[in-house]
């Protein structure tokens, strides 16, 4: 039986994620809407984001072992007051960058990739506008995979 590659492996490993964030942040810093939010980011920021996304997609634990935790990533978004317009532009530019660097464009990979980007950016907007956020410091890193097609979402008990 052949082992199914992780999204990280399918994308091309760390070089693909580092190239993705390099191309992406060049776009961000030229974008009228996003530039003010990111203009003061450190030189290491884009590399940390590459490592974070790579780890989420099944890559090495570079981010969580030496650069931060999921809790710390959440904290970086607090009080940034991101809007839906910011989120949509961020998603759009990241997908544009993915196309430019020729990240795999098969439907299965792109579905998983976009699903995570949509999920993550929506969480970032919520966290950036929260007055009080209760997040456990040991919040685990998200792990994103290929998904299970055709399996309906079942909300947690008590949630409608």
Q: How far apart are CA 113 and CA 120, in angstroms?
A: 11
Closest CA relative to residue 37, chosen from 97, 87, 105: 87
Cα-trace Rg, the chain: 16
Could you report the per-residue pLDDT of 13-68, keeping only the tens digit for each? 999 999 999 999 999 999 999 999 888 888 788 898 999 999 999 999 887 877 66
Domain 8-129 has CATH 1.10.490.10: yes
Report domain extents, the chain: 8-129
For residues 129 and 61, what is the distance between their CA atoms, to the nearest angstrom? 29
pLDDT at residue 157 greater than cutoff 80: no
Mean pLDDT over residues 97-125, rounded? 93
Looking at per-residue confidence, does 46 or 81 come out higher?
46
**What SS3 class is residue 137?**
coil
DSSP 71-130: HHHHHHHTT----HHHHHHHHHHHHHHHHHTT----HHHHHHHHHHHHHHHHHHHHHHH-
Percent of the chain with pLDDT over 90: 49
* pTM of the entire predicted model: 0.82
> What is the reported pLDDT for 62?
87
Q: State residue 130's pLDDT score.
A: 74
């Amino acid at each position: 039986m052949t082992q199914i590659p992780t999204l990280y492996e399918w994308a091309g490993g760390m070089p693909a994620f580092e190239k993705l964030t390099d191309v992406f942040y060049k776009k961000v810093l030229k974008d009228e809407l996003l530039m003010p939010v990111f203009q003061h980011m450190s030189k290491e920021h884009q590399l940390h984001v590459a490592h974070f996304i790579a780890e989420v997609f099944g890559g090495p634990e570079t981010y969580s072992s030496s650069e931060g935790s999921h809790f710390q990533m959440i904290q970086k978004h607090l009080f940034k007051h991101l809007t839906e317009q910011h989120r949509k532009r961020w998603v759009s530019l990241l997908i544009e960058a993915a196309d430019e660097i020729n990240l795999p464009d098969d439907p299965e990979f792109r579905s998983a990739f976009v699903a995570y980007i949509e999920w993550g950016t929506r969480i970032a907007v919520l966290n950036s506008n929260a007055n009080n956020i209760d997040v456990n410091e040991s919040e685990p890193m998200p792990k994103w995979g290929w998904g299970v097609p055709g399996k309906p979402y079942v909300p947690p008990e008590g949630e409608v």
